[in-house]
Structure 1
């Protein structure tokens, strides 16, 4: 016998975007249930970046889950771009009228949201199998899955697909009705997490003839470093000693002299891609975050674009339930995609300027021509106040767009 549950919004995926959406909807009195195919511990085991735009941080505060972020998060007013040993600081606060970003790990924000959801007594169903979405283009959408061997149906008004690039939500939209844009980059990022003090209190993006590197932090005692590597490399190819040796060669000399090394807590290689699915909605199904778009991590936009999707969808659903006017639903994809494409372009642009493409031809340009273009781009944008302002404005995040009233 199939178990049936009724709610207003079914959220597929218990990552940070699904949890944040659920918390914001709860604050507005909108019922929601989250379903997740893996365990909560597995979700928390995903090591991800933790640079939160000011808009995202404000959204967490609006959700009432900011206590730890405000207490332990590290506010960054700037970051550096290093070209060889030359270090150029992008003064975000000074160039944007005081806007900043918060360094607070994705694992930490996810745990805070999980704890808040549990404290509020909201339902999250973990370890569900065979999830399917039904009748999403009708007034009676539903979600079916199996949990503990028992078939379950959730009947709802709306479905939020927060289940990532490989999830079921995007695949529910018929292929004939969606357009997918993709670019796969010819390199990946090898990341290492260690309980060592960071080499700098602010992030350093490094462009070198040996390839890109990034020095970032999780706290005053925990660091996260990245190296550009070929897609053919495997984690097993990189011992801790090999990683630290190569990182020192790519950091500016004065930063390398301060580098504290130690055993890795985690190492992984992430391929880089740009991906956008249009539209981001189909009937009463709305795609959120990685289900609809992927960006290279160079611009720190992945989690932040998911947050802006959440902000838009939560405001739309609040309006619909407050007014009964479903025309607001039509705005979601258009508003979300405008900000997504800005984030995609910025991440693509930063990736092109800072990485070494080796012998790979980019478009119809020779390697030498592309290299010259990118050197000129980087020189102008880091060498002029106008250029640095462009970088700073986009790094701290563009404003969230407001809904149009009817």
Structure 2
């Protein structure tokens, strides 16, 4: 039952989910539910408030039917505005695992790996000479969270995890969750060879209407018609928690060949593929935790989703037990971090405006005073107008002006005075 309401400033941790089943698992892990607070104008999120241990937590989910990095960023931004004391976020849910290291029912925690931060955006880049050059990478998770992850990893090796305990508590409070959110015999970990595509042949009449399985969605996604000789043979093992790189993008990956290519591109560092994390990490200090529910191939289905979501949520609850509320209080708020980045960008723009007053080299001053057929003043005005409208993609600097001018000078010496053209 919900307790008396707190204020918006009482909440320090934001928990973001992409799917309702992920939100269900998150809410089920709360030790206490708090009363709702009135929604702020222009805030389209719906929040569940509660606490885990001594941490006050805000849970929010992407709107129904919305997926991807942009939707996640919008939810996180509105959450930070509504709860200004939030220090960091938790992006918790399900994802696709990269075999052979990762299996269904495992957990992947996004942590720095090699030259990469915890999350990379695989579909953000540029095309150069008929090659796609990836440029999307996100910030590292907060050091406070990474330190807690390190200690938890050691304790798992020494004494084991409390995840089974938290799952038992979940179904004790919410018995209706047991059939799907707990591990059952119906959850079978089957991995097909990467070069074998899913057989989408229509099941026969008896299969479709079998009384022991009336879930049409599961029937449509099953691999009953796939060639069992194409299954990769592996020895059974218990659930594992992996730490390393998560690849995030705006497209659903259901192709084993692409999965293998992606893994090769990142030199074998990728453990998981998902769709929202990259939208948060650039502006929202957070850690990404994924329960593995498929192999990002054509055989992927929804059978494992609820259990994988519960595993990720249970690990998150265990992780929060390794973080002291007093340490969280010392952290900079997420809003201040975003403001700091915005201020830095504004400062760059302001410094650019007054570039001439800061020049201390005579040749630079002479360069700016020399005549040119290009009206740079109007171009600078256009640039800042576009930048204020969110269209700018660079900074007007002395180097830009010098390069443009020297280019113009070379053309003038060969062709005479050219028509004005935009240089940057």
Name the TM-score, length of structure 2 as normaliser.
Answer: 0.28
Higher strand fraction (1 or 2): 1
Structure 1 or 2, whichever has the larger Rg, is 2
- TM-score (normalizing by structure 1): 0.29
Q: Which structure carries more relative contact order (alpha carbon 8 Å, separation 6+)?
A: 2
